[in-house]
Amino acid sequence: MSDQAGSAGATRHEPEYVLGTGRDELERLGHQHRLWSDAAHEAWLRAGIGAGARVLDAGCGPGYAAFDLAQLVTGSGSVVGVDESAGFVGYLNEQASRRGLGNLRGIAGDAQRLGAALAQGGQAEPFDAVWTRWVLCFVPDPEAVVAGMGACLRAGGRLVVHDYFNYRSMAMAPRTRSWERVVEATMASWRSRGGDPDVMGRVPALCHKHGLRVRHMRVIQRMARWGEPMWHWPDQWWRTFAPKLVAMGFLAQAECDELIGDLDEARRTPGSFLVPPPVYEMIAEKP
């Protein structure tokens, strides 16, 4: 298979999502969803998503959350995923068909022009709920995404968001120079593409501005010792992304090597632990 995941049969070019849309990122997203699916399910239930609900997954990626949502809403509900990566959307549609999820479909489109993407995909009905996770931090215009998500909700519908704030607080203990350096390089790389690793600091105000009422917020802070599944989230993240930072010119090869060496050393050092970036949860309602 080529560097790009799936085959959507679409003609539009692959966008410049800073993490890439290749097979390595497709697999990383699957692992990441597995580790964060408990928090996602909690949020969905808190927002009242259940049988019969019509749900939009904005920036759905290859669809790992959407597969779960499609089962949660049962055959009487439906799930639409929108993502700018035609490769990811192709994977979602292929998997939906293989898994017999007739109530799930993906549409390739820009979340910053959600109304246009949904219209092009033939989706006219408003949604009972919109879910978006780790998308607002990557788009140049999060306000357009928030406005679009609000616009496609029915009155009384809920917006459910998991995204980053205070990204810099992710840490390795004991601290290492290489970790501090790669976190800064990561934030710089996202910002260079118009993203914002602290976007959740702005999202509640954007919701307010676009007529949504914030009903709930919390922060989900995890930590992991070697041997615990959560260890592999930051560990795999750096092993996948640090070489990309080198290729993009945000990190020197020597700094990348130092980081990988420190990660290997941390595994062998009793008492080491990793602190992933905190995930902020927000549920807002359309009056």
Site residues, ligand SAM (CB under 6 A): 17, 29, 33, 59-61, 64-65, 83-85, 88, 110-112, 133-135, 138-139
Task: Output the smallest distance, CB 243 to ligand SAM, in A.
Answer: 17
Positive or negative, the Cα torsion across 246, 252, 254, 259? Answer: negative
Measured between alpha carbons, how far is 50 from 39 in angstroms, rounded to an integer?
16
Task: Output the smallest distance, CB 196 to ligand SAM, in A.
Answer: 12
Task: Output the smallest distance, CB 47 to ligand SAM, in A.
Answer: 16
Nearer to ligand SAM, 225 or 232 (CB): 232
Tokens of 83: 């993502």
Instruction: Indicate the pairing of strand 279-285 with strand 54-58.
Output: unpaired
Nearer to ligand SAM, 64 or 250 (CB): 64
Nearer to ligand SAM, 59 or 197 (CB): 59
Nearer to ligand SAM, 16 or 257 (CB): 16
Nearer to ligand SAM, 59 or 234 (CB): 59
Task: Output the smallest distance, CB 60 to ligand SAM, in A.
Answer: 6
For residue 217, the tally of other CB atoms under 10 A from its CB is 14
> Where do the H-state alpha helices sit in the chain?
23-46, 64-72, 86-98, 114-120, 142-151, 177-192, 203-209, 232-248, 253-268
Measured between alpha carbons, how far is 264 from 72 in angstroms, rounded to an integer?
39
Per-residue b or e along 34-68, where b marks 16 or more CB atoms closer than 10 Å to that residue's CB: ebbeebbeebbeebebeeebbbbbbbbbbbbbbbb
Adjacent-strand bridge partners of 274: 172, 224
- Chain residue at closest Cβ approach to ligand SAM: 61
Task: Output the smallest distance, CB 236 to ligand SAM, in A.
Answer: 13
Task: Output the smallest distance, CB 13 to ligand SAM, in A.
Answer: 13
Nearer to ligand SAM, 26 or 266 (CB): 26
Measured between alpha carbons, how far is 172 from 237 in angstroms, rounded to an integer?
13
